[in-house]
């Protein structure tokens, strides 16, 4: 890690030359992606911390890395011996990085950032936070890249078209719907920066970002024609012609800035300040800039019938792969050396046997015993744990299929569970069932639904620190907005649920050093009833795989909860069994036995 120290020294020298007192290096890219292409993993290169969430800050006297509890242990290991000190977020007496900078920097100091990596909303929030000491933001500082000698190039992977039989709606139809929104907003164009929105709108997919079937591009959707800013070499001649037929003009990726500057002189452009980089926002003439949600964001969240049917098909494929995986585990855990990484690799191989498989939807979280209590644990050899025929295993994984995206978590116990474990597990299960079976009035938000998943845990004085549910894409990102289920007062959790939304239901509990418990299924919002009192919605559970019953304290469940679980297991067996051989059917039948 000596190289890390040397780079920080060189960066500090450049900071002095540029009149910069501090630098902020986020985890994002110019598209505000959660997961980024290697080209933009600047924070990872600089700090050696590989977690998906974290912010690095460099001053003349300090180098710090801020991340949350999901990554504390991982960060401590990866930062060891390097120049960066870990700052733990959301614990008592620890300031987040902007508050820390406010206290550390002198009045009138200057902070340097790369304007491509911060949205307009983020910059406005930073300036407001630092205003009490008149700390300025210099949004053109990019010299850090000059020290990244082996920086990966922008990905060059080919782009392919998602067939209509999977998408359910043509590219032309989607662009027409967006055009209608432009008319409503009285604008000429809409700037789309987020990669999943671009992929969904144009019925295109790629492999520029691990586990996310997206490609690096910008889209300027217009009333008469649209412009896709992308490396032209990634698009075949045939696809180019098909896009042109739908009035989508191809331009080079790096031409977006100048094009916006020229176009906005005469045309009004709608863009979302929360996901549009400061660099691009600055190119749009202020008087012709209209701020608002990108139309495709909500359109994409409401799955059409073809997408829903595809997701149902993906769930069967996933159920088959998981059946093979858990059978393999039970047969071999006592006799063979199986570590956490082996479990992830084996599951990926079973998924790969399914038709239409594209890859994992995220790196599987395989946490054995105490590792399961690390919410976003990342198993790596040689430090990962080896499984034994005792203890608890938490497995959170998902697959990408052309017909849909999956995300499932199951917790299993290889030995007789303790009374405390059964109580904790059953409380999590009760929360899962409460959310899965609830009926709620139209207009209900995710932050109102969240307490249903926590009530049973709260009743025994326990809780979990993550959200309860996130939106999921259709053969797209496993984390998708705009909806979520969490206690947050604003943001995604404040959005009302609507039929067609595809969301996770994943309460959990984590006992440090002992075990992690999470039960996750994906659910579809559906209309349940409409009467004189209003319209009521509920959730249809789409995930198909048995929930472990060995750890249940039956006395803690109500009759209604038992009925829900038994009915769910009947559905699981009915849907998956036809795709299994005789031995697999027998195993699955045992796991789906009524309690």
How far apart are the C-alpha atoms of 154 and 218, rounded to whole Å? 14
- Of 314, 357, 358, 350, give the one whose Cα is nearest residue 329: 350
Query: Does the pLDDT of residue 103 top 70, yes or no?
Result: yes
**Are 62 and 73 in contact, with CB atoms under 8 Å apart?**
no
Instruction: Quote the pLDDT of residue 2.
Output: 55
CA 400, 406, 410: angle at the middle one, nearest 5?
130
Q: Cβ distance 70 to 91 under 8 Å?
A: no
> Of 342, 337, 309, which Cα lies nearest the Cα of 325?
342
37 vs 262: CA distance, rounded Å: 29
Give the bridge partners for 390, in sequence order.
388
- Asked whether the beta carbons of 186 and 261 are under 8 A apart, the reply is no
pLDDT given at position 1? 53
Q: What percent of the chain has pLDDT over 90?
A: 92
Indicate whether 93 pLDDT > 80.
no
pLDDT score at 393: 98
Averaged confidence pLDDT in the chain: 96
Inter-residue contact 78 to 23 (CB < 8 Å)? no
- Decide if 401 contacts 320 (C-beta within 8 A): no
pLDDT one-digit tens code per residue, 251-262: 999 999 999 999
**Which residue carries 């080919």 as its tokens?**
158
The answer to whether the beta carbons of residues 268 and 288 sit under 8 Å apart is yes
Residue carrying structure tokens 């050396």: 337
Q: Higher pLDDT residue, 197 or 376? A: 197
**What mean pLDDT do residues 183-204 have?**
97
Q: Which domains does the chain have, with CATH numbers?
A: 2-147 (3.40.350.10), 160-300 (3.40.350.10), 305-591 (3.90.230.10)
Q: Write b or e for each residue in 175-202: b if 16 or more Cβ atoms lie within 10 A of its Cβ, otherwise e.
A: beebbebbeeeebbbbbbbbbbbbbbbb
Lowest-pLDDT choice from 3-17, 180-194, 349-363: 3-17
pLDDT at 460 over 70: yes
Average pLDDT over residues 519-535: 97
If one counts every other C-beta atom within 10 angstroms of the C-beta of residue 542, the result is: 18
Residue with tokens 């920080």: 8
Strands (E), 388-514: 392-397, 399-401, 404-405, 408-413, 439-441, 469-471, 480-485, 502-505, 508-511
Q: Give the pLDDT score at 72.
A: 83
pLDDT digits (tens, 9 = 90+) for 133-173: 999 999 888 999 999 999 999 999 999 999 999 999 999 99
315-343 average pLDDT score: 97
Per residue in 472-521, pLDDT tens? Answer: 999 999 999 999 999 999 889 999 999 999 999 999 999 999 999 999 99
Q: What is the mean pLDDT of residues 271-296?
A: 97
Predicted local confidence at residue 140, as pLDDT: 87
Give the gyration radius of the chain's Cα atoms: 25
* Cα 449 from chain centroid (whole Å): 20
Q: What CA–CA distances, in Å, run from 280 to 33, 138, 209, 220, 261? A: 15, 16, 22, 12, 9
Q: Which comes out higher in pLDDT, residue 90 or 352? A: 352
Q: Hunting for tokens 């209209």 — which residue is that?
A: 290
CA-to-CA distance for 119 and 136, rounded, in angstroms?
17
Q: Give the HSE-up count for residue 511: Cα atoms under 13 Å, Cβ half-sphere.
A: 18
Q: Which residues contact 163 (CB under 8 A, 6 or more apart)?
A: 402
pLDDT score, position 70:
74
């Amino acid at each position: 890690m000596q190289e890390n120290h040397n780079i920080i020294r060189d960066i500090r020298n450049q900071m002095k030359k540029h009149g910069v007192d501090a630098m902020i290096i986020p985890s994002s890219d110019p598209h505000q992606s959660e997961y980024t292409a290697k080209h933009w993993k600047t924070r990872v290169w600089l700090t050696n911390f590989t977690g998906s969430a974290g912010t690095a800050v460099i001053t003349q006297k300090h180098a710090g890395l801020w991340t949350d509890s999901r990554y504390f242990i991982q960060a401590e290991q990866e930062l060891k011996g390097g120049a960066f000190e870990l700052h733990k977020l959301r614990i008592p007496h620890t300031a987040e990085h902007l508050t820390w900078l406010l206290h550390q920097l002198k009045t009138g100091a200057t902070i340097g950032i790369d304007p491509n990596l911060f949205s307009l909303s983020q910059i406005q929030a930073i300036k407001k936070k630092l205003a009490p000491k008149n700390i300025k933001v210099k949004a053109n500082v990019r010299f850090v890249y000059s020290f990244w000698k082996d920086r990966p190039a922008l990905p060059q992977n080919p782009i392919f078209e998602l067939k209509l039989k999977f998408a359910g709606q043509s590219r032309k139809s989607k662009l027409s719907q967006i055009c209608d929104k432009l008319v409503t907003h009285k604008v000429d164009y809409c700037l789309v920066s987020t990669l999943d929105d671009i992929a969904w709108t144009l019925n295109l997919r790629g492999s520029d970002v691990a586990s996310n079937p997206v490609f690096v591009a910008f889209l300027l959707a217009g009333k008469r024609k649209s412009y896709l800013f992308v490396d032209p070499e990634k698009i075949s001649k045939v696809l180019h012609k098909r896009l042109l037929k739908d009035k989508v003009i191809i331009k080079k990726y790096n031409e977006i800035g100048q094009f916006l500057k020229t176009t906005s002189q005469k045309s009004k452009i709608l863009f979302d300040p929360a996901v549009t980089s400061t660099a691009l926002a600055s190119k749009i003439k202020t008087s012709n800039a209209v701020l608002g949600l990108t139309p495709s964001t909500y359109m994409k969240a409401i799955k059409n019938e073809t997408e829903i049917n595809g997701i149902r098909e993906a769930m069967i494929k996933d159920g088959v792969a998981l059946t093979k995986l858990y059978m393999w585990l039970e047969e071999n855990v006592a006799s063979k050396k199986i570590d956490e990484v082996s479990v992830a690799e084996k599951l990926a191989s079973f998924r790969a046997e399914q038709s239409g498989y594209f890859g994992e939807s995220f790196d599987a979280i395989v946490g054995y015993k105490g590792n399961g209590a690390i919410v976003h644990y990342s198993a790596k050899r040689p430090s990962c744990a080896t499984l034994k025929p005792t203890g608890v295993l938490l497995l959170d994984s998902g697959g990408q299929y052309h017909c849909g995206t999956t995300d499932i978590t199951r917790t299993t116990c290889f030995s007789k569970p303790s009374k405390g474990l059964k109580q904790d597990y059953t409380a999590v299960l009760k929360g899962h069932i409460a959310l899965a079976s609830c009926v709620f009035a139209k207009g209900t938000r995710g932050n109102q639904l969240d307490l249903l998943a926590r009530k049973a845990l709260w009743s025994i004085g326990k809780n979990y620190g993550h959200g309860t549910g996130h939106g999921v894409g259709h053969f797209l990102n496993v984390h998708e907005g705009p909806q979520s289920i969490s206690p947050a007062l604003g943001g995604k959790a404040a959005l009302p649920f609507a039929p067609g939304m595809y969301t996770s239901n994943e309460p959990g509990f984590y006992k440090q050093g002992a075990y992690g418990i999470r039960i996750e299924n994906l659910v579809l919002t559906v209309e349940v009833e409409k009467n004189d009192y209003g319209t009521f919605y509920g959730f249809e559970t789409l995930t198909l795989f048995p929930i472990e019953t060995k750890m249940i304290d039956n006395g803690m469940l109500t009759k209604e909860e038992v009925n829900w679980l038994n009915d769910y297991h009947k559905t699981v067996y009915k849907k998956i069994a036809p795709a299994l051989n005789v031995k697999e059917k027998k195993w699955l039948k045992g796991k789906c036995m009524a309690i």
